Each structure stands twice: as structure tokens, then as C-alpha cells.
């Protein structure tokens, strides 16, 4: 297995499904395996790694990469799985350390935020990954391959906002760009109304 292996792309692209499949296969092969999930990622009422399809795999919730390293040092798994890598502070340092120790690593993560900007730690991760699998979703507007996660206007504007289809939808580049321009126009109109005292 190439390591790190990274499944990346937008929401609903099957990244977590691919991660779970790799972890289940390792278990069948009797490879000592452990999975980690960000503590903040409890969208489905569980800390297990869980795909939109309902597939799941037992996981340990963590907030920082140091927690990953502490658990691995104690239990010495041969394979480590990490879901939603971009949400875990210090995860890139943990991956570098695990790699030096010879631990195999498989990861699922968004590669960009909902403004189309790469997550900084994911950029570093892709640079050291031995296998990168881009997982497109299906555009919610035109049904083309979607590589972007679009955040709908009413959603809160925190960069990390845990949620699913109540906030987000997958889009291809033309539909994503159209949506971003529409949001920018709305913001511009709002600023104009405020300057005129009409807001």
C-alpha cells in the first residue's frame, strides 16, 4: 500500500466511503488498524467515521495530531486512518511522524474550503502523499462532475462549519463560479444599501 494515500475532493464525492473500504479491507487482512475522526465532527450523532451512505467504521475522536501520536504509540497499529484531516490541528505533523516510523496512513479530506481555497495543511499533505485520489461528486445544478463544495448564502460564514446539505452542495466549476459571483453581488448590494441608509 502506498502511504500516505489521500482521498480528496468536495463533499459527497465518496472520500469517506473509500476510506472506510480501505480500513475494512485491512481488518479482513488482519492488519492492526485504528481510525481517527475530528472531535467536532459529530454530524450523525456518532464519533465513528461515517459516510453519507450510512457506512461506518469505529473511530477515536481527536482535536490535535498529538492525540493521534499518543494513541498510536500506546497501541502500535500497522495502519492509521484519518477522516476530515483538515479539521484536526497538527495533523500534518502527526502524519510526518507516522511516516518516519513506517506506519501506513490512509486519509479522507476536503481539499478546498467553500470559497475554493485550498486548506493549507492539505496542500502540505498532498505534497508528501504517495497516492492521491481525487473523488468528484455530482453537481447539484447541472449533474456534471463536481470538484467544489458550494456554501449556500444563508449559512454562517465561519471557515470551518460542520454540516451537510443544510449548508452545502457539490458543484462543477461553472456552477460554483456562478454561485460565488451571485453571492458577491448580493454582498455588494447589501453594502450599498447600508451606505444609503436603506439596509
Confirm whether 30 is a catalytic residue: no
Q: Considering 17, 67, 84, 169, which one is annotated as catalytic?
A: 84
Angle CA(51)–CA(58)–CA(50) in degrees, nearest 5?
10
Phi/psi at 33 (nearest 5 deg)?
Answer: -130, 140
H-helix segments, 85-163: 91-101, 120-128
Q: Are strands 104-110 and 79-83 parallel, antiparallel or unpaired?
A: parallel
**Bond into 23 cis (ω within 30):** no
Phi/psi at 190 (nearest 5 deg)?
Answer: -65, -40
Active-site residue numbers?
84
Amino acid at each position: 500500500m502506498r502511504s500516505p494515500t489521500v482521498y480528496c475532493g468536495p463533499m459527497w464525492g465518496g472520500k469517506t466511503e473509500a476510506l472506510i473500504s480501505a480500513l475494512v479491507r485491512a481488518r479482513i487482512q488482519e492488519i492492526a488498524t485504528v481510525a481517527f475522526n475530528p472531535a467536532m465532527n459529530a454530524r450523525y450523532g456518532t464519533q465513528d467515521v461515517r459516510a453519507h451512505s450510512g457506512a461506518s467504521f469505529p473511530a477515536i475522536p481527536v482535536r490535535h495530531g498529538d492525540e493521534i501520536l499518543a494513541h498510536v504509540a500506546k497501541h502500535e497499529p500497522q495502519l492509521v486512518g484519518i477522516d476530515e484531516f483538515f479539521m484536526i490541528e497538527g495533523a500534518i505533523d502527526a502524519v510526518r511522524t507516522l511516516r518516519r516510523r513506517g506506519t501506513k496512513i490512509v486519509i479522507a479530506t476536503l481539499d478546498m474550503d467553500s470559497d475554493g481555497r485550498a486548506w493549507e495543511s492539505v496542500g502540505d499533505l498532498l505534497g508528501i502523499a504517495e497516492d492521491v485520489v481525487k473523488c468528484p461528486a455530482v453537481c447539484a445544478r447541472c449533474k456534471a462532475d463536481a470538484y467544489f463544495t458550494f456554501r449556500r448564502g444563508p449559512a454562517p460564514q465561519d471557515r470551518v462549519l460542520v454540516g451537510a446539505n443544510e449548508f452545502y452542495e457539490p458543484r462543477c466549476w461553472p456552477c460554483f463560479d456562478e454561485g460565488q459571483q451571485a453571492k458577491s453581488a448580493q454582498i455588494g448590494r447589501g453594502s450599498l444599501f447600508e451606505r444609503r441608509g436603506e439596509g
